[in-house]
């Protein structure tokens, strides 16, 4: 059941994500290796909560997407990882991502789409990504960012269905179809 839900989330995300970042690296035609999917997603009958990170590498650089859910299953907010840094010696991983977790009120009390900015700082080791998300709303800079510690476990479920591009340009074309519509 969880495989079906994750596959449905990825399928729906392909039709509803925002145009975001420039290429995280200039890897040209260098081959791409799937690192994996790391998640702490929890599901009820109608809701999903948590995070999902998908990572690939090419030319010793990491890149990927972040999905964050805190509500109804489907149309999971998805963002392109930006400014990714990774130190293979220590496992330190840091990145930023922009996505919208829903709606917020503007200065006149009108509901408008939130522009959430995620900063992650942590480590990747073996079968988990552990660290802290700092989450802010770019439309409300006066609001203090929310900090959330996470432990994302590597998921074997659905790993056969994860995208395995031959090159970075192929990956970039695929991911643009996911993030651009939003």
Q: pLDDT class for 2, splitting at 50, 70, 90?
A: very low
Query: pLDDT of 48-105, one tens digit each?
Result: 888 999 999 988 789 999 998 876 677 788 899 999 999 999 999 999 999 888 777 7
> Partners of 33 in the beta sheet?
57
Residue 80: give the domain boundaries. 2-179
The whole-model pTM stands at 0.76
Average pLDDT value for the chain: 79
How many domains does the chain fold into?
1
Token pair 């964050």: residue = 68
**CA 149 – CA 145 distance, rounded (Å):** 13
């Amino acid at each position: 059941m969880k495989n079906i839900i994750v596959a449905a989330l990825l399928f729906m995300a392909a039709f509803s994500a925002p145009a975001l970042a420039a290429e995280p690296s200039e890897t040209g035609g260098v081959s791409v290796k799937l690192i994996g999917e790391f998640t702490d997603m929890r599901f009820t009958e109608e809701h999903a909560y948590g995070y999902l990170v998908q990572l690939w590498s090419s030319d010793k650089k990491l890149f990927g997407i972040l999905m964050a859910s805190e509500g109804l299953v489907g149309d999971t907010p998805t963002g392109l990882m930006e400014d990714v840094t990774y130190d293979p010696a220590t496992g330190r991983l840091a990145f930023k991502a922009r996505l919208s977790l829903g709606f917020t009120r503007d200065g006149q009390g009108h509901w408008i789409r939130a522009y959430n900015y995620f900063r992650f700082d942590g480590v990747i080791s073996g079968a988990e990504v552990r660290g802290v998300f700092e989450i802010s709303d770019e439309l409300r800079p006066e609001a203090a960012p929310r900090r959330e510690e996470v432990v994302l476990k590597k998921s074997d479920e659905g790993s056969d269905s994860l995208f395995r591009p031959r090159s970075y340009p192929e990956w970039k074309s695929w991911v643009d179809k996911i993030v651009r519509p939003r």
